[in-house]
Structure 1
Amino acid sequence: MPRLTDPQRAFVTERHLATLTTLRADGSPHVVPVAFTWDDEAGIARITTNPTTVKVRNARRGTADAPTRAALCQVDGRRWLTLEGTISADDSPAELAEALRRYGERYRPRDPLIERVVLRVAVERVMSSRDLR
């Protein structure tokens, strides 16, 4: 599991959106804007979303033998950071509570009564602009 540098860690706590890229069944990219949170201890990024979205369908397509790949890319002017890894969908109450807690800290509180699923990107590779290294 790669570790973020101090500047990278600071960057993923700033209030920015990112793009999430997943692959459709035909292999074509599906790219959408998302808000996400970073769990430095676990090395995962979390995204909360509606369970009927294309990105959730793409994440659920993975198996233990062939996990689904994803990339999150956050950009602010010339600063950028990309987190690559495997993506999975988790609808357990504990994971959703943790994701909503973290989202509320980075962005704003979300309504816990709206049906959501957590997309977890287990990060294996980090790329960034020079000023974030």
Structure 2
Amino acid sequence: MSRTTVELPAGIRAFLTRPRTATLTTLRPDRTPHVTPVRFTFDPGPALARVTTREGARKARNVAAGGPAARVALCQADGFRWVTLEGRATVTDDPERLAEAVRRYTARYRAAPPAPLDLVVIEIAVDRVLSLNL
């Protein structure tokens, strides 16, 4: 997955560190949207968002079915303030990448994520950021 540098104002970076829930939009194989609430982390350096989930979850299956062209949107909102992160997504069960995702999640939400046996991480190479009132 190629990495893109995304310059973010300090207000958006701060907003994305708050322990909030977001929505992740993926596309089903029939191209209809699937929207689900998720917890996530965002690393502004490589512009990489991470969502941990089960391999069998609809969102993970949608990303896997989309192949290297799979695009997703991740939106965190708080009242009339919001940030949407868009980009290409992949699913991996690589132990090092999973460990990094769990470490970042635990730091952000002050609790470890659920740890099912089929834990995977959806990695989103963010290439577009939209926001309002930040």
TM-score, normalised on structure 1?
0.92
RMSD (Å) for aligned C-alpha atoms:
1.3
The match for 2:104 is: 102
- Displacement of 1:61 in angstroms is 1.4
- Find the partner of 1:122 among 122, 125, 130: 125
- Unpaired runs of 5+ residues, structure 1, are none
Structure 1 CA distance, aligned partners of 2:25 and 2:8?
Answer: 20
Paired residue type of 2:103: R
Cα deviation code 1:30-69 (max 9, x no counterpart): 00000000011110100001111000001111334xx101
- Unpaired runs of 5+ residues, structure 2, are none
Say whether 1:49 aligns with 2:53: yes
- Find the partner of 2:11 among 7, 12, 22: 7
Paired residue type of 2:51: I
Matches within 5 A, 1:63-78: 63-64=67-68, 67-78=69-80
Paired residue type of 1:35: R
TM-score, normalised on structure 2?
0.91
Number of residues paired by the alignment?
A: 129
Change (3 A) 1:27 1:112: closer
Matches within 5 A, 1:33-48: 33-48=37-52
Structure 1 CA distance, aligned partners of 2:109 and 2:34?
Answer: 24
Contact (CA 8 Å) 2:67, 2:90: kept in 1 or not? no
Contact (CA 8 Å) 2:105, 2:113: kept in 1 or not? no
Alignment partner of 1:125: what SS?
A: strand
The match for 1:19 is: 23
